[in-house]
Structure 1
Amino acid sequence: MEIESQLLGMAESFLFVAGEEGLTLAQLAALLDRNEDQANEIMTALQDGYDNNLKRGITLKRYGGSFRLVTKSELAEEIKKMLENPKPSTFTQAALEVLAIIAYKQPVTRVEIDDLRGVKSERALHSLTGKGFVEEVGRMDGPGRPILYGTTDFFLDRFGLASLKELPPLSLEEEQDTEDPDLFMTKFQEAFSIQGEGGNDV
């Protein structure tokens, strides 16, 4: 269908107001008074308009099922310079280890994380939960019904992933290889040092 300029403007406005939460295709369809197929065409046209115009510094991405307006990856270095500050990295080594384990082995309990790392993970887990990267996703059947943890849509957003299926492969030959924390973390950091080049600074 031919996309009316007004529809593109409306969609852009809705996405701007939605901010970091973004909008699902169903929400956009309802707001634009169109069916989901039509709304998807509008999103495609909007993204094409951004990507094909060098004067625009933003584009449209779909993260975790929601559409969001984001800055273009080509401008990552310029944006990084603007945001640079002397504060330490968002993640401690312990937090990064815990996040890696949860990302690839979820749903997982704290005890399982502790066993893999060989040390207590409660503090790092609390930090990741507080920052919105990790959340409780249920409870395991069994004694004490321990809490199961998984990653959030915010995690997908910050690492530039549309879904968990896009997690970079760790290239581990066998599942038991992930029982080696050093190997697991080395593979995780290598994978995300490549993934993170698109400007998703964490």
Structure 2
Amino acid sequence: MTTDPAEAPTAPHASPELSVATPLDVPGQPRLDLDRALEALLFVADRPISTVALAAAVARPVAEIRAAIARLAADYDGGAPSGEPRTDEAATEQSGERGIRRGFELREVGGGWRFYVRDDYDALIAGFVIEQSTQKLSQAALETLAVVAYKQPISRSAIAAIRAVNVDSVVRTLAGRALITEVDTDPETGAILYGTTDQLLEHLGINSLDELPPISPLLDDGQGGFDVDRA
């Protein structure tokens, strides 16, 4: 029996037709690959991005985004490489080869997706980050940051009293690097009170200020508070 060409099955590698133009289909430019587009978005993210937000960014169905995330996660875990030749078209026959397990992984946290270093490399990265942070901040900035971390909320004048030096420029530096921020004002004096930011917690690798080590054992006299005498 002769098959009507109009009723012939769709070729396995045919691209699905899109009902609307999406950010992946820019006129005059090659069509972007879905997996690589999501990869680019996740690369620049400073916080987890939800599946719905990713779908909105590329104007594609949530189901397609979930499938793409699964492909990317498998790729980073050392599974078959994604994106050969295109990941948002019908899957091609797998060659059986496995990819390389990356030093990072795609992890779902807080209702969204974000790149994270694999647990195996935590110690290496922690040491590197601490070394880089120490190099970037002066001793004066580190001391001021410690005062704010342990005494917050605290005003500039109170910080200066503890450190026995003018701290205006150092406070501006720390605020400019988003390590401290204005959190309140003193009800009596109207002075701005400063506290640490979530970004500092990320740099230190802790979840809350409760995880900071006790300050007393770090002081020469073993007493609580800060030693004002720096002679």
Structure 1 residue 110 and structure 2 residue 156: aligned? yes
Shift of 1:179: 2.5
Structure 1 residue 180 and structure 2 residue 227: aligned? yes
Q: What does residue 16 of structure 1 align with?
A: 43
Flag the 1:74–1:148 CA change in 2: closer, same or farther, 3 A.
closer
Q: In structure 2, how many angstroms separate the alpha carbons of the residues matched to 1:107 and 1:65?
A: 30
Shift of 1:129: 1.0
Q: In structure 2, how many angstroms separate the alpha carbons of the residues matched to 1:64 and 1:117?
A: 39
Q: In structure 2, how many angstroms separate the alpha carbons of the residues matched to 1:118 and 1:151?
A: 21
Structure 1 residue 148 and structure 2 residue 193: aligned? yes
Provide the aligned length of Structure 1 versus Structure 2.
Answer: 154
Q: In structure 2, how many angstroms separate the alpha carbons of the residues matched to 1:147 and 1:127?
A: 16
1:153-190: CA deviation from partner (whole Å, max 9, x where unpaired): 2211211122323x3322527x962231589xxxxxxx
The correspondence of residues 9-158 of structure 1 with structure 2, limited to 5 A, is: 15-18=42-45, 21-23=46-48, 28=50, 30-31=52-53, 55-59=101-105, 68-72=114-118, 73-74=121-122, 76=124, 80=128, 89-143=135-189, 145-158=190-203
TM-score, structure 2 as length reference: 0.49
Q: In structure 2, how many angstroms separate the alpha carbons of the residues matched to 1:130 and 1:164?
A: 21
- Counterpart residue identity of residue 90, structure 1: K
More helix by share: 1
- Counterpart residue identity of residue 76, structure 1: L
The correspondence of residues 154-165 of structure 1 with structure 2, limited to 5 A, is: 154-165=199-210
Tell me the SS of whatever aligns to 1:170. Answer: coil
TM-score, structure 1 as length reference: 0.55
- Counterpart residue identity of residue 225, structure 2: T
Tell me the SS of whatever aligns to 1:178. Answer: coil
Q: In structure 1, how many angstroms separate the alpha carbons of the residues matched to 2:106 and 2:149?
A: 25
Shift of 1:104: 1.5
Q: What does residue 188 of structure 1 align with?
A: none
Flag the 1:156–1:11 CA change in 2: closer, same or farther, 3 A.
farther
1:131-154: CA deviation from partner (whole Å, max 9, x where unpaired): 1211111211012x0001111122
CA contact (8 A) 1:11 1:32 kept: yes
Q: Give the share of equivalent positions with the same residue, in percent.
A: 34
Structure 1: 5+ residue stretches without partners: 1-8, 34-41, 184-202
Pair member with larger Rg: 2
Structure 2: 5+ residue stretches without partners: 1-35, 56-68, 78-98
Flag the 1:89–1:17 CA change in 2: closer, same or farther, 3 A.
closer
- Counterpart residue identity of residue 118, structure 1: A
Flag the 1:134–1:114 CA change in 2: closer, same or farther, 3 A.
same
Q: Larger relative contact order (C-alpha < 8 A, sep ≥ 6)?
A: 1
